[in-house]
Amino acid sequence: MDAFLAQLWIARWPIFDGFLMTLGISAGAIVFGTILGCIVGIQLVFAPLWLRLPFRAYVDIMRGTPLLVLILAAFYIPAVLGLSLSAAHAGTLALGLFAGAHIGELLRGSLQAIPPGQIEAGRSIGLTFPQILANVLLPQALRISLPPWINTGVELIKGSSLLSMIGVGELLLKTQEVIGRNFMTIQFYVFAGVLYLVVNIALDLLGKSMERRLGARQ
């Protein structure tokens, strides 16, 4: 244990950097994914069929493809198309596209769970459709979506570990580099696991408390 603590002290900054990178990438992906997901979710419910189809295809492709394949594709494809994207950006893009599909599908479910009478009620007091969306539908749908949205955040933090495979210096890659120097395989993998665990459990608790508070209000 002492030997591990000594090594941990030596490796504290790389691991801290990796940890921050993991949080940063996940945060970037959830922001991107949420904006994308809102657009997708609204289109899936309200767009005319011809416009709905491409969004449906996007969601199904993202949900039918393993996240690792999305990450590798995002890493390799831009370069041959003449775009220069760092590994971290490519990875964040892949995670964000993945999250966008999941959040879009989530929001679709929530929007469809709202009784159609709500739209009619909005119309009857003279609101335009964008006004109904902004003031009636989205506030309700977002509330329903909140707990699973938090869960998407947990999935992104876990998924960000896959970026180690394209050389992004997040927590797992930094951990592997540290292990490469001191060969304390079990200790450092477990330590990384504990860090993921702590963040995810904290998020999970946050989600549960939100769920309770929202549940109490309804």
Partner 1 sequence: MNYTLHFGAVWASFDHLLGGLAIGLALAVAAVAVGTVLGLLSAFASVSKSRLLRGISGTYVLLIRNIPLLVLVLLVYFALPATGIRLDKYESFIGSLALYAGAYLTEVFRAGLLSVPKGIVEAGRAIGLTRMQTNLSVVMPVMLRNSLPSLGNTFIGMFKDSSIAAAIAIPELTFEARKINVDTFRVVETWTVASGLYIAACFTIAALLRRLERRFPKF
> Which residue in this structure is represented by tokens 């041959």?
80
Q: Which residues contact 173 (CB under 8 A, 6 or more apart)?
A: 18, 163, 164, 167
Residue 1 sits in the site that holds partner 1 (CB under 8 A): no
Q: Of residues 52-91, which lie at the interface with partner 1 (CB under 8 A)? A: 60-61, 64-70, 72-73, 76-77, 79-82
**Which CB sits closer to partner 1, 82 or 116?**
82
What is the total residue count of the chain? 218
Which residue of 154, 168, 174, 178 would you call a contact of partner 1, by CB under 8 A?
154
With CB under 8 A as the rule, give the number of residues binding partner 1: 40
Which residue of 201, 205, 206, 214 would you call a contact of partner 1, by CB under 8 A?
201
Q: Are 89 and 168 in contact (CB under 8 A)?
A: no
114 three-state secondary structure: coil
Distance CA(148)–CA(19), nearest Å, equals: 24
Which residue of 89, 140, 200, 210 would you call a contact of partner 1, by CB under 8 A?
200
Which residue of 5, 197, 205, 214 would you call a contact of partner 1, by CB under 8 A?
197
Q: Are 2 and 68 in contact (CB under 8 A)?
A: no
Residue 205 sits in the site that holds partner 1 (CB under 8 A): no
Distance CA(97)–CA(68), nearest Å, equals: 12
Q: Which residues bind partner 1 (CB under 8 A)?
A: 60-61, 64-70, 72-73, 76-77, 79-82, 154, 157-162, 164-165, 172, 176, 179, 185-186, 189-190, 192-193, 196-197, 200-201, 204
